[in-house]
Amino acid sequence: MPFQWKTTDGEVRSALAWRRETGRGVLACVHGLSGSGEQFGPVAEFLGDYSVYAIELRGQGLDPVVDRRAMLLDLPAQHRDIADFLAAIRRRHPGEPVFLFGESMGSLLSASFVAAHPEAGICGLILSVPVVELIRPVPRWLSATVRSIAHVFPRLKFYPSWFVNGETVAPPLTRDRAYQDAMRRKPHYIRIFTLKFLSELGDLISSSNDIAKRITVPGLVLAAGNDCFVKVSQVGAWFEKLASPDKTLKIYEAAYHLLWHDHDSGQVLSDVADWLAKRRR
Q: Which residues contact 176 (CB under 8 A, 6 or more apart)?
A: 261, 262, 263
Judge whether 2 and 17 are in contact, CB under 8 Å: yes
User: Is residue 75 in a domain?
Assistant: yes
Domains: count for the chain: 1
pTM of the predicted protein model? 0.96
Q: Which residues contact 261 (CB under 8 A, 6 or more apart)?
A: 39, 42, 173, 174, 176, 179
Q: Which residues contact 179 (CB under 8 A, 6 or more apart)?
A: 258, 261
User: Is residue 237 in a domain?
Assistant: yes
pLDDT digits (tens, 9 = 90+) for 223-274: 999 999 999 999 999 999 999 999 999 999 999 999 999 999 999 999 999 9
User: Is residue 23 in a domain?
Assistant: yes
Measured between alpha carbons, how far is 195 from 185 in angstroms, rounded to an integer?
23
User: Is residue 270 in a domain?
Assistant: yes
Range of the domain at 29: 2-137+205-277
pLDDT digits (tens, 9 = 90+) for 50-64: 999 999 999 999 999
Q: Which of 72, 28, 88 is nearest to 198 (CA)?
A: 72
User: Is residue 163 in a domain?
Assistant: no
pLDDT band for position 171 (cuts 50, 70, 90): confident
pLDDT digits (tens, 9 = 90+) for 181-223: 999 999 999 999 999 999 999 999 999 999 999 999 999 999 9
CATH number of the domain residue 41 falls in: 3.40.50.1820
Q: Which residues contact 65 (CB under 8 A, 6 or more apart)?
A: 11, 58
Nearest-5° Cα angle at 142, 137 to 148 = 140
